[in-house]
């Protein structure tokens, strides 16, 4: 039997981002933040307990993120992105900035602006470092020990790099334990092991089993699955087109004719002619 994918953004929201999901959300958050030597978060309040219609679920611009506030007034946004639609770094900075800017009430003071943490779970390799979990702050270029302010914190968790781990440690590493649960490719034996050893993961699994018995949830799950496939095809076609354009530029630099470049790349004549002034 095919396992439901907990990293389907709608399903992730249902098991982590609704009222009653605080225990597993808190445990996951501490698994992520604790791996970077932070003090544990003691309490989370889930924000925007939203009800989604089929129209909202089917809207490509709809971001199904989990938003919480910690006991220290920190705002945390957790987003799942399984397909590389490019510019992920700018996208997360945009959402960080939007959350940061709206956190101050009208007439409020800058000192009241809270720390905003973005956690991105991605299924691609956008950070060119070896670690599957990376974390970014505002450090000074020549004095890496000097932090301008701690209000910005952005995490990337790459499922692709996580799967490449040669020696995992689900018994002692909380984050690896959670990723094993969230990864639809995890072997059944390992999955049963992490569910048995971790109460919060067990609760998340119970929640997963419960919500997937709801026909409306299943319909929305399938909509998001299909959208992910369409996004992937769109991104792939875009990458192919960009590659053709780069090849055309190189051929123009070598002096090849527009007609020959058209035959080689398949690009239309008009597109190639617009590139002439760029080389």
Average pLDDT estimate for 168-181: 92
Average pLDDT estimate for 118-137: 94
- Look at residue 1 in the predicted model and tell me its pLDDT: 59
Read off the pLDDT band of 251 (50, 70, 90): confident
Pair type for strands 116-122 and 75-81: parallel
| Lowest mean pLDDT across 2-6, 125-129, 202-206 | 2-6
- Look at residue 160 in the predicted model and tell me its pLDDT: 94
Taking only the tens place, the pLDDT of each residue in 124-133 is 999 999 999 9
Residue 49 predicted with pLDDT over 80? no
Q: Which residues pair with 65 in a beta bridge?
A: none
Q: For 149, left (φ over 0), alpha (ψ -120 to 50), or beta? A: beta
In order, the DSSP letters of the chain are -PPP-TTSHHHHHHHHSSTT-HHHHHHHHHHHHHTTTPPPP--EEEE------HHHHT-TT----EEEEETT--EEEEEEE-S--S-HHHHHHHHHHHHHHTTSPTT--GGGPPPEEEEEEESS--S-SS-SEEEE--B-SS-TT-BS-SSEEEEEEEHHHHHT-SS--TTT-HHHHHHHHH-TTS-HHHHHHHHHH-HHHHHHHHHHHHHTT-HHHHHHHHHHHHHHHHHHHHHHHHHHHHHHHHHHHHHHHTT--HHHHHHHH---HHHHHHHHTT-
Residue 261 predicted with pLDDT over 70? yes
- Look at residue 37 in the predicted model and tell me its pLDDT: 75
Residue 218: Cβ-neighbour burial (10 angstroms; 0-12, 13-18, 19+): middle
Residue 184 predicted with pLDDT over 90? yes
Q: Which residue has the tokens 């909509």?
A: 223
| Lowest mean pLDDT across 89-98, 110-119, 179-188, 250-259 | 250-259
Taking only the tens place, the pLDDT of each residue in 60-113 is 555 778 999 999 999 999 999 888 767 889 989 999 999 998 888 777 888 889
Q: CA-CA distance, 247 to 61, in Å (whole number)? A: 32
Domain ranges within the chain, ordered by starting residue: 9-213, 239-276
Where is pLDDT greater, at 164 or 85? 164
- Look at residue 244 in the predicted model and tell me its pLDDT: 78
Residue 155 predicted with pLDDT over 60? yes
Whole-structure pTM value: 0.79
Q: CA-CA distance, 184 to 214, in Å (whole number)? A: 20
- Look at residue 203 in the predicted model and tell me its pLDDT: 97
Q: CA-CA distance, 29 to 32, in Å (whole number)? A: 5
- Provide the angle, in degrees to the nearest 10, between the axes of the packed helices 258-265 and 215-253: 150
Mean residue pLDDT of the chain comes to 86
């Amino acid at each position: 039997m095919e396992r439901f994918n907990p990293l389907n953004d709608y399903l992730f929201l249902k098991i982590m981002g609704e009222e009653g999901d605080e225990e597993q959300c808190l445990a996951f958050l501490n698994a992520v933040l604790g791996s970077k030597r932070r003090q544990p978060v003691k309490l989370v309040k889930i924000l925007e307990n939203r009800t989604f219609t089929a129209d909202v679920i089917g809207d490509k611009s709809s971001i199904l993120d989990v938003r919480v506030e910690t006991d220290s007034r920190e705002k945390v946004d957790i987003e799942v992105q399984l397909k590389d639609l490019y510019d992920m770094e700018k996208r997360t900075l945009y959402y960080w900035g939007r959350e940061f800017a709206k956190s101050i009430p009208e007439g409020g003071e800058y000192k009241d602006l809270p720390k905003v943490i973005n956690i991105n779970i991605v299924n691609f390799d956008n950070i060119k470092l070896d670690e599957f979990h990376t974390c970014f702050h505002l450090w000074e270029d020549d004095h890496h020990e000097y932090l301008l302010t701690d209000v910005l914190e952005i995490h990337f968790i790459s499922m692709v790099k996580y799967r490449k781990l040669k020696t995992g440690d689900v018994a002692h590493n909380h984050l690896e334990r959670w990723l094993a649960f969230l990864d639809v490719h995890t072997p059944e034996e390992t999955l049963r092991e992490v569910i048995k050893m971790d109460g919060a993961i067990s609760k998340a699994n119970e929640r997963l089993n419960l919500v997937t018995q709801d026909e409306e949830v299943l319909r929305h799950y399938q909509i998001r699955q299909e959208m992910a496939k369409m996004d992937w095809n769109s991104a792939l076609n875009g990458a192919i087109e960009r590659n053709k354009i780069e090849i055309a530029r190189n051929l123009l630099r070598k002096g090849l004719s527009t007609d020959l470049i058209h035959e080689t790349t398949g690009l239309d004549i008009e597109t190639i002619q617009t590139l002439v002034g760029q080389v």
